[in-house]
Amino acid sequence: MEISGKKALVFGGTSGIGLAATHQLAALGATVIAVSRDPSKAGDLPSGVSCEACDVRDRDAMQKLFEQHAPFDILISAATGGDRALGPFLDMEMDGFAGSFDKLWGYANVVRFGAQHLTDQGSIVLVSGSPARKAKPGQIALSAVGGAVEAMVRALAPEIAPKRINTVSPGTIDTPMSALTGEERDKHFEKLTAPHLLPRAGMPDEVAKAIVFMVENDFVTGTTIDVDGGWLLGK
C-alpha cells in the first residue's frame, strides 16, 4: 500500500504507541484521524491531524464515527479499553480480571463496525503484547487478553480477505502508561528488561514502525510481529 493520500483512523492515537503511529502515518502523507476517549489529554499531534472523542466500548458511538469518516484505508487500534489487572490469579478480584478484557471488546468493536467501511485493499492493525505467549509472574490477565487478540486476528483474516488484519506485539515499551519519573522510572525499566536479550525498554516509534510495515506490505495478513527486545527468547 502506498500510504500517501490514504485515510487512516487510529484508536488510541493520541498517546504512546498510537500517537507514534499517528505521527508516522501523517509523515508518509496519510490523512489521519486520531481517536481518544479524552482528546483533552492528547499528546503533540502533527499538523493536519484531526482528533475525535470516542470510547471503543461504546458501540453506538463507534458506528456513528465510522459512518462519518467512511470510507477509509487504514484502521489501527492501540486503545487499551480501560485498566489492566496485575497480580497472582488466585488472589485477583474477578471484576478486575474481567475488566482487563475491555481491550479485547474494544478491538472487537473496532473490527466489527469498522471493517465494513474499509476499502477492499485496506489494512487493519491491532496491538497485543508479549505476555500473550510468554507471561511473567502476575501477568495472567495481560496474557489471556493478548492471546485472545492474536487468536481473533488469525481467525478473522480468512473472513475479511482481501482486506488484511495483523497484530503487532510489543514488549516493555516506555510510554505514558507508566507514571514513574526520573531515576525511579529508569530503575523500573532496568528491572523489567534485565532478562531480555536487549535489556532496555523499547520506544513507541519502534513499535509504530512495525505497524507501518504491516500497513504497507500487501502480502502480510493474519500474523503477528514481535517488537520486544528479545522478551520471548530471554531468561
Per-residue model confidence as pLDDT tens for the chain (235 residues): 999 999 999 999 999 999 999 999 999 999 999 999 998 888 799 999 999 999 999 999 999 999 999 999 999 999 987 788 999 999 999 999 999 999 999 999 999 999 999 999 999 999 999 999 999 999 999 999 999 999 999 999 999 999 999 999 999 999 887 777 788 888 989 998 999 999 999 999 999 999 999 999 999 999 999 999 999 999 8
Whether residue 197 is contained in a domain is answered as: no
Whether residue 178 is contained in a domain is answered as: no
pLDDT reported for residue 85 = 92
Whether residue 152 is contained in a domain is answered as: yes
Q: Is the pTM of this model over 0.85?
A: yes
- What CATH code is carried by the domain that includes residue 153? 3.40.50.720
Whether residue 15 is contained in a domain is answered as: yes
pLDDT reported for residue 56 = 95
pLDDT reported for residue 235 = 84
Domain count, the chain: 1
Whether residue 59 is contained in a domain is answered as: yes
- Residue 95: give the domain boundaries: 7-173+203-227
Whether residue 235 is contained in a domain is answered as: no
pLDDT reported for residue 201 = 95
Angstrom distance (rounded) from CA 93 to CA 18:
29
pLDDT reported for residue 178 = 76
Whether residue 181 is contained in a domain is answered as: no
Whether residue 97 is contained in a domain is answered as: yes
Residues 6+ apart with CB under 8 A from 210: 168, 225, 227
